[in-house]
Amino acid sequence: MAETPIPKMASFLLISYYILFFFTLHIPSSHAHTAQKTYIIQIDKSAMPRAFSNHLEWYSSKVQSVLSTSFEAEDDDDDQERIIYSYQAAFHGVAAKLSEEEAARLEEDDGVLAIFPETKYELHTTRSPLFLGLESAESTNLWSQMTAADHDVVVGVLDTGVWPESESFNDTGMRPVPSHWKGTCETGRGFTKRHCNRKIVGARAFYRGYETAMGKINEQSEFKSPRDQDGHGTHTAATVAGSPVHGANLLGYAFGTARGMAPGARIAAYKVCWVGGCFSSDILSAVDKAVADGVNVLSISLGGGVSSYYRDSLSVAAFGAMEMGVFVSCSAGNAGPDPVSLTNVSPWIATVGASTMDRDFPAKVKLGNGRKMTGVSLYRGRKVLSSEKQYPLVYMGASNSTSLDPRSLCLEGTLDPRQVSGKIVICDRGISPRVQKGLVVKKAGGVGMILTNTATNGEELVADCHLLPAVAIGEKEGKELKHYVFTSKKATANLLFLGTRLGIRPSPVVAAFSSRGPNLLTLEILKPDMVAPGVNILAAWSGVIGPSSLATDRRRVKFNILSGTSMSCPHVSGVAALLKAKHPEWSPAAIKSALMTTAYVHDNTLNPLKDASSAEPSSPYDHGAGHINPRKALDPGLIYDIEPQDYFDFLCTQKLTRTQLRVFAKHSNRTCGKSLASPRDLNYPAISVVFPERTAVSALTVHRTVTNVGPPNSKYHVMVSPFKGASVKVEPDVLHFTSKNQKVTYKVTFTRKSKQPGPEFGGLVWKDGVHRVSSPIVIT
C-alpha cells in the first residue's frame, strides 16, 4: 500500500505523494468460465484486403476468426460485444475481450503487429509561476507578451477528469475555440454540454477497459462522466493552464493568485482513472482520441512500470502522438530515492521528476525540556492546542527495535485509547497514508501527532492537511524525539503552526520521492529529462472530497496542496504549451530540447542542486538536465531536433526484431536507416556514453547536430567539464552560423584513461555571449 491520502472513492486508488508500486495486472474476467481478459491488438492498417469497406469491419473479422465457438454458444457473445475500443489515430487496432488461447491464435494472424495484455496504471500524484520566472514581482510578466493567437494551444490532460465549476476554468475574455479543435464535450452524470467553455474545450470519459476488468461502475457513488470527484485531475489541469484566481489558498495557507503555467491555453480533459485505477486500453483510447481531436500537448501524470519499448502500449501510443506533432509529457514516478525507479523512459517522452520551491509551511515541536524542533504542517482546525500548556508525549514503538511495528506506524486498530488519550502521539511514516495515521490517533483520543520520517524519507518534509494538530519532522530529529521519550518519565510537547513562509534556501531541491535513473532500457538515453516543481503545489480541487482525500474528511475546499511527480509533470506540459504558442513550427523534440538545454543545476544559494534524501549534491540520474527555466527556454539559441525517423532508427539499435519494429512503423512502413550507428548518436540534448566493461575499447565518439533558432549570425564556443576517467575532445570547438534554422554537426570523442568505480557526471556548454546551451554528460 502506498503512503498517501486515500480518495473518498476507494481506499486502494492512491494519489501517490511518495511511493509508487507498478505492476501488470492479471485480471480475472467476470465470466470465469471463459477466462476472458482485455487485450490490445495492434494491426497493420495498410494490410487491409480490398474486400473490406472499412478498417473496423476488417478488425472485427479478425477477432471473429479466433473466437472459441463453445464460448460463443454459451455466452451468445459476438465480435462486436468482444471489441470494446477501436483505435485510429495515434495507434491502429482494437481492444477486445479474449481468452488466452484466442489471443495466442490472433497473434499469429497476418496483419497483427502486436498484442498487449491489459495493464493497470496508477496516478503519480501558486507560487510556481513566480518561482519559475513566468511572472515578475516588479513589472511585466511573460504572459503579457503573448498575442491572442498564442492562446490557441490545446493541452490534453489524461487523469481523473475535471471539476468544471472551479474558478481556475473561467473563460472570461478568451477568444472562440480554435478552428483546428475537433473534440467534443461528452455528457454523463454531473456533466453536461454547458460544462465545457472556451477554457475547457473538450471532455471525454473512458471506462470500457476498466469495466471489463473491474465490473460495472457504481453510478450512484462515482461519476461515470468527465466530472472529477477524486481531485487529482482537476489539480493537474489547473496547474497546466488554470485561469488566474486571486485570493486562492488552502485554509489560509499559500494565499495568493493561483494560475497555470499557460493560463491562456485551452484544456481538454480525458478521464481515464477510476476507483480501481487506470487501465491501458482506456489510456490508449484517450491518447488516440486526443490526437484526432487536435491536442498540441499531452500531460500524463501516471505510470505502469517499465517494459521493453515495443511492449509498452503507452510508449507506442506516445510514439504515434509524437509523429503527429504532439508533445507528450509524463511523470517519472514517486519511487525515489531508489535508483532505477523511473517509469515512462522512452526518448520521445518528456520524463519529469519533482523538486521543491522556495515556499514552505513551517511548524514547531516544543518539548518539555526546552528543545524546539522544526517541521511542517497544513493543519488549520478549530481544535488548537493551548500555547500555554505542555501535553504528555507517547511513542508506542520499542526503544531497542530496529524494525517498525504496527503500533509505531499508528496503523488502524493498533492504538490503545487507555495509553494515548489526551496525549500527543509519535507516529512513524510508512505503510499507511500520513493523514490517516492522524485519524487513527484522533479516534483513540490523542490530541495531536508528530509524524517522524524514517531512513526511507530522510529529511524531506511534505506538508499535509491533517485532521488533528500534527507536525511532520525529519529522521534525525525523529530519533532525538524518541530518545527524549524513552529517557524521560514525563516527556511532554506542544505543537505550534507558523503559516506560510517564502524565500526558503536552498531551493530548488530534488524531492526524495522523485524516481531516479539510470534508464536501464537504454543507458545511453539519460532519464529523467528534467525536474520541475512537484512539492506542496497549490491548485484547484474537486468539490466533493476533502483536502485529505479521506472519506471521513467533511471539509470542502476550492484549492488543495499536493506533492508528487504528478504535480511536476503538468508544470512542464504548461510550459511546453507556451513554447508551442511562441514557436508553432517547433517539433516535440525541439520543445524538449529548449527545456533541457536551458535548465539550471544550481539552487538559489548558487550551489549545485541538492538531493533531499541525502542533502548531498544531486546528479543527472536525479535531476536530468536540471530544473526548468521557462524564460530561457523561449529563446534557447540552439536546439537539438529529432525527426520521427530518427527515433525509429534509434529503435533499430535496440536489438528489436523486424516484427517488434513494425509496432512503431505502423502505417508509415518505416525501415531502418543508416544514420544511427549507436543509440548514443540519437540527437538527444543529453549525452551518455557507456564503455564496454570487458573489451579493449578505449575511445567512443558521439555525434550531435544543433539547429540555430537564435540570431542569424552567431558564433558559439564550447566548454566541457573535466573528467577523471576520460579525456574529452569536441570537434569543432567553435560553431559558426550565418542563417536562422541552419544546422551544424559536431562530435565529441571520449578517450578512457582509467576505470572509475561508478559513473562520472559533467556537462558540455555552447556559449555565444547571450545563450548558454547546456547538455549533461554521463560517462559509465
Question: Could you tell me the pLDDT band of residue 67, with boundaries at 50, 70 and 90?
Answer: confident
- DSSP-derived secondary structure for 28-66: PPSSTTTT-EEEEEEE-GGG--TT-SSHHHHHHHHHHHH
Question: Could you tell me the pLDDT band of residue 128, with boundaries at 50, 70 and 90?
Answer: low
Q: What is the pLDDT at residue 135?
A: 62
Q: What is the pLDDT at residue 14?
A: 32
Cell of 501: 513562509
Can you give the length of the chain in residues? 780
Q: Is pLDDT at 164 greater than 60 in this prediction? A: yes
The b/e string for 500-537 (b: 16+ C-beta within 10 A; e otherwise) is beeeeebbbbbbbbbbbbbbebbbbbbbbbbbbbbbbb
- Catalytic residues, by residue number, are 159, 232, 566
Q: Kindly state the average pLDDT of the residues 607-611.
A: 96
The conformation of residue 397, written as its DSSP 8-state character, comes to S
Q: What is the pLDDT of residues 697-716, one digit of tens each?
A: 899 999 999 999 999 999 99
Q: Is pLDDT at 635 greater than 70 in this prediction? A: yes
Question: Could you tell me the pLDDT band of residue 667, with boundaries at 50, 70 and 90?
Answer: low
Short-list 317, 761, 699, 236, CA closest to 517: 761
- Inter-residue contact 438 to 469 (CB < 8 Å): no
pTM above threshold 0.85: yes
Helices (H), 642-695: 644-652, 658-665
User: Given the C-alpha cell 455528457, which residue does it identify?
Assistant: 187
Q: What percent of the chain has pLDDT over 90?
A: 74
User: Rounded distance, CA 94 to CA 168, Å?
Assistant: 36
Lowest mean pLDDT among 28-32, 580-584, 641-645: 28-32
3-class state of residue 438 by DSSP: helix
Cell of 696: 579493449
User: Rounded distance, CA 567 to CA 117, Å?
Assistant: 29
Q: What is the pLDDT of residues 193-211, one digit of tens each?
A: 999 999 999 999 999 999 9
Q: Kindly state the average pLDDT of the residues 212-233.
A: 95
Question: Could you tell me the pLDDT band of residue 403, with boundaries at 50, 70 and 90?
Answer: low
Q: What is the pLDDT of residues 77-105, one digit of tens each?
A: 454 589 999 998 889 899 999 999 999 99
User: Rounded distance, CA 92 to CA 317, Å?
Assistant: 9
Question: Could you tell me the pLDDT band of residue 304, with boundaries at 50, 70 and 90?
Answer: confident
Question: Average model confidence (pLDDT) for the chain?
Answer: 89
Lowest mean pLDDT among 127-141, 369-383, 603-617: 127-141
Q: What is the pLDDT of residues 425-437, one digit of tens each?
A: 999 998 888 999 9
Question: Could you tell me the pLDDT band of residue 29, with boundaries at 50, 70 and 90?
Answer: very low
Short-list 595, 578, 762, 585, CA closest to 687: 762
Short-list 677, 704, 679, 696, CA closest to 751: 696
3-class state of residue 759 by DSSP: coil
- Inter-residue contact 71 to 97 (CB < 8 Å): no
First to last CA, the chain: 35
Q: What is the pLDDT at residue 134?
A: 66
Q: What is the pLDDT of residues 228-243, one digit of tens each?
A: 999 999 999 999 999 9
Q: What is the pLDDT at residue 20?
A: 33
Q: What is the pLDDT of residues 554-563, one digit of tens each?
A: 999 999 999 9
Q: Is pLDDT at 666 greater than 60 in this prediction? A: yes
Q: Kindly state the average pLDDT of the residues 744-760.
A: 92
Query: Exposed (0-12), middle (13-18) or buried (19+): which is 775, by Cβ within 10 Å?
Result: buried
Q: What is the pLDDT of residues 494-507, one digit of tens each?
A: 999 999 999 999 99
3-class state of residue 713 by DSSP: coil
